[in-house]
Amino acid sequence: MVALLRDSFTISERRACRVLGFSRTTYRRNSPKREKDQQLVERLRVLARERPRFGYRRIHLMLGREGETVNHKRVYRIYRAEGLAVRKKERRKLSVGERQQKPQVSAPN
């Protein structure tokens, strides 16, 4: 928006930001590149596929053992964004039939 306004009316960056209500620091800030995130995403997917019972905490520890220096909150954010989760164990269904009482065993004298 600022660039469009500057080109259209040939005004300064300062004035264009003021008109639009932007902070100049926000306009000038370059967002960080997420190339390293792509490598981390791929590694998380591989580890989650290899170890389906491991959650993000154990995967974070595994990454640390491999030499990756990564924040646990970042691992959690990416883990959730990728839809990875520990698979729940399915509960066994009980038989529908009637339950039988155990026979009473008499104590030896």
DSSP code of residue 54 = -
Domain boundaries, the chain: 1-30, 35-81
With a cut of 50, list the residues of the chain below it in pLDDT.
Answer: none
User: According to the model, what pLDDT value does residue 31 have?
Assistant: 73
User: According to the model, what pLDDT value does residue 89 have?
Assistant: 77
User: According to the model, what pLDDT value does residue 21 have?
Assistant: 92
User: According to the model, what pLDDT value does residue 45 have?
Assistant: 92
Structure tokens at 34: 């997420």
User: According to the model, what pLDDT value does residue 98 have?
Assistant: 67
Contact assessment for residue 40 and residue 78, using Cβ atoms and an 8 Å cutoff: yes
Task: Pinpoint the alpha helices (H) of 30-91.
Answer: 35-50, 56-65, 72-81
Return the number of other C-beta atoms located less than 10 Å from residue 32's C-beta.
8
Residues in CB range of 79: below 8 A, 6 or more apart: 44, 48, 56, 59
Residues in CB range of 87: below 8 A, 6 or more apart: 52, 53
